[in-house]
Amino acid sequence: MAAWQKELFTALFLYLLVSIVGWITGTFLLLNLLLTIGMLIYQVIQVNRFEKWLSAGARNTYPKSTGIWEELYYHVYRIKKNNKKRKKQLSKMIDQFRQSTEALPDAAVVLGVNDEIEWTNKAARDVLGLKQLDKGQRIPNLVRFPEFIRYISSGDYSEPVMVPSPVNHQITLSVRIVPYGAGLRLLIAQDVTQLKIMERMRKDFVANVSHELRTPLTVLKGYLETLQDMDDGHSAVLTASFHQMQGQTERMQHLVDDLLLLTRLESQQKKAVCVHIPELLSQICQEGDPVSTQRIQLTLDTDSNIMGDEQELRSAFTNLLGNALKYSPDESIVKVRWYKNKDGINLTVEDQGEGIAKADINRVTERFYRVEVKRRKKVSGTGLGLAIVKHVLMRHDAQLTITSELGKGSCFSCHFPIKRICNCN
Ligand code: ADP
């Protein structure tokens, strides 16, 4: 039987008893009134006891009671006990989380809506020079590098930003912000000094090797030319060997030139002068051999020019045009178009050649990536041309889009933003 039913039956039994006694003694009303008052007083005392126990935190075991009150005490006591257990588990988890984030090698800072510091780990204090007392301070007031301030206020956190450590300028940090929750952001700073050093060593190595190869290659080429001039054609093997050697030396020279150009693109300061693009395109389209130039259809829909580096743009455009001619049949047309639309200004180089498979499109701009295609004649190349194009465009805030269909042809589009347009006069 449930506690409330027991309580009801007891009350009914008492009223029945009192009513019988009252009826016999002629005090029916008085006895019933006295019983009601007595029961009321009992309940008020129980409520008072319960309230006192609750206001004391309901921490201790509950006082001894009977009936429905015992049930009430028991339920509240159990809820309290479970809550206490859950709280303990939660604080243990928070402690473990704190300890693990404290031990993280990367600096982590939780930022509030107004860039104020809410929490930092040990690495953040060590490498960003933040203190426990800085909690509540705005981080741009403490880490004052312009590139960092620009990054944090830009709201675009898709790419990390490189900044020196405020405590040691020899240390390079890659800082990234990850938004989460309601307006909260997690700032993560990783020490990439070693990576930077290795990157510099790689660049220096490539630059030095390419540079050092230049002189011996020029000497080799010179002697080869002399030998070819001296060749009287008596030995077909010798003539063929000279021809092969000349081809390979030329290939190596292109490779060295492309590597040096890439190194320059990675390390040199950007130049920005107004480049007369229609003129540049007309020159490039007439530069090749007469057979190739006849295949080019140049359309200049705009006479707009752009701010940039003429040499770099020349190599990028030459590479695109060279590829279009190289990877399409000898008689096919290559369309070059310079036009403006509402988003900016564009150059498209379109061919009717072999096309590029979908899986290769994303990879052709990687260094040394050449698509394996069985062709009737061998097409020479270094695999660096499109890497150069990508780099040059990046330095001009431009983007390269490649659309292609196998067997039908490809279209390489360079999209320059409106802000790059300039007036050369
Ligand atoms: P490469 O010196 O080999 O031409 P690139 O970096 O210029 O080096 O091009 C990389 C690869 O992309 C090429 O080897 C070729 O397979 C493919 N490719 C580039 N342009 C075209 C094009 N217009 N049509 C088809 N394939 C192309």
* Boundary of a domain, candidates 98, 125, 155: 98
Same domain membership, residue 76 and residue 111: no
The whole-angstrom separation of Cα 345 and Cα 348 is 10
Q: Is 409 in the pocket of ligand 1 (CB under 6 A)?
A: no
Q: Closest residue (by CA) to atom 20 of ligand 1?
A: 323
DSSP codes, 186-206: EEEEEE-HHHHHHHHHHHHHH
Q: Is 318 in the pocket of ligand 1 (CB under 6 A)?
A: no
Q: Would you tell me the crossing angle of helices 277-287 and 310-326 to the nearest 10 degrees?
A: 40
Q: How far is the CA of 403 from the centre of ligand 1 (A)?
A: 13
User: pTM of this prediction?
Assistant: 0.69
User: What does DSSP assign to residue 419?
Assistant: G
Same domain membership, residue 380 and residue 310: yes
Q: Minimal CA–CA distance to 312: which of 383, 397, 203, 422?
A: 397
Cβ(281)–Cβ(298) below 8 Å? yes
Residue 300, pLDDT above cutoff 80? yes
DSSP codes, 27-93: -HHHHHHHHHHHHHHHHHHHHHHHHHHHHTTS-SPPPP--HHHHHHHHHHHHHHHHHHHHHHHHHHH
Q: Quick count: other Cβ atoms within 10 Å of Cβ 420?
A: 19
Q: What's the CATH number where 232 sits?
A: 1.10.287.130
Cβ(102)–Cβ(122) below 8 Å? yes
Q: What is the mean pLDDT of residues 298-319?
A: 95
Q: Minimal CA–CA distance to 303: which of 273, 342, 277?
A: 277
Q: Closest residue (by CA) to atom 14 of ligand 1?
A: 370
Q: How far is the CA of 341 from the centre of ligand 1 (A)?
A: 27
Q: Is 364 in the pocket of ligand 1 (CB under 6 A)?
A: yes
The whole-angstrom separation of Cα 377 and Cα 176 is 49
Residue 288, pLDDT above cutoff 90? no
Same domain membership, residue 108 and residue 178: yes
Instruction: Give the 3-state DSSP-derived string for 251-283, with helices as H, strands as E and coil as C.
Output: HHHHHHHHHHHHHHHHHCCCCCEEECHHHHHHH
* Boundary of a domain, candidates 238, 267, 296: 267
Please report where in the chains the tokens 């061919």 appear, as a residue: 351
Which range of residues forms the domain containing residue 82?
A: 3-98
354 CA closest ligand 1 atom index:
25
The whole-angstrom separation of Cα 365 and Cα 392 is 12
Same domain membership, residue 10 and residue 30: yes
pLDDT tens-place string over residues 6-65: 889 999 999 999 999 999 999 999 999 999 999 999 999 999 999 999 998 877 788 888
Tokens of 57: 């935190």
Q: How far is the CA of 356 from the centre of ligand 1 (A)?
A: 8
387 CA closest ligand 1 atom index:
6
Q: Which long-range contacts (CB under 8 A, 24 or more apart) does 333-338 make?
A: 333/295, 333/296, 333/297, 334/295, 334/296, 334/297, 335/297, 335/299, 336/281, 336/285, 336/296, 336/297, 336/298, 336/299, 337/298, 337/299, 337/301, 338/277, 338/278, 338/281, 338/299, 338/300, 338/301, 338/302
324 CA closest ligand 1 atom index:
23
Query: Given CA atoms 229, 234, 239, 242 in this order, what sign does their dihedral have?
Result: negative
The pLDDT > 70 percentage for the chain reads 100
Quote the mean pLDDT of the chain.
92
Q: What's the CATH number where 278 sits?
A: 3.30.565.10
Phi, psi of 15 (to 5 degrees): -65, -35
Q: Is 315 in the pocket of ligand 1 (CB under 6 A)?
A: no
pLDDT tens-place string over residues 388-425: 999 999 999 999 999 999 999 999 999 999 999 998 77
* Boundary of a domain, candidates 167, 191, 215: 191
Same domain membership, residue 300 and residue 410: yes
pLDDT tens-place string over residues 186-243: 999 999 999 999 999 999 999 999 999 999 999 999 999 999 999 888 899 999 999 9
State how many domains the chain has.
Answer: 4
The whole-angstrom separation of Cα 108 and Cα 111 is 10
388 CA closest ligand 1 atom index:
6
Same domain membership, residue 129 and residue 171: yes
409 CA closest ligand 1 atom index:
24
Q: Could you give the C-alpha distances from 50 to 10, 65, 69, in angstroms and in order?
A: 21, 10, 8
The whole-angstrom separation of Cα 101 and Cα 1 is 54
* Exposed / middle / buried, residue 392 (Cβ in 10 Å: 0-12, 13-18, 19+): buried
Q: Closest residue (by CA) to atom 2 of ligand 1?
A: 381
Residue 132, pLDDT above cutoff 90? no
Same domain membership, residue 112 and residue 86: no
Same domain membership, residue 296 and residue 411: yes
Cβ(422)–Cβ(360) below 8 Å? no
Q: Closest residue (by CA) to atom 25 of ligand 1?
A: 355
pLDDT tens-place string over residues 313-362: 999 999 999 999 999 999 999 999 999 999 899 999 999 999 999 999 99
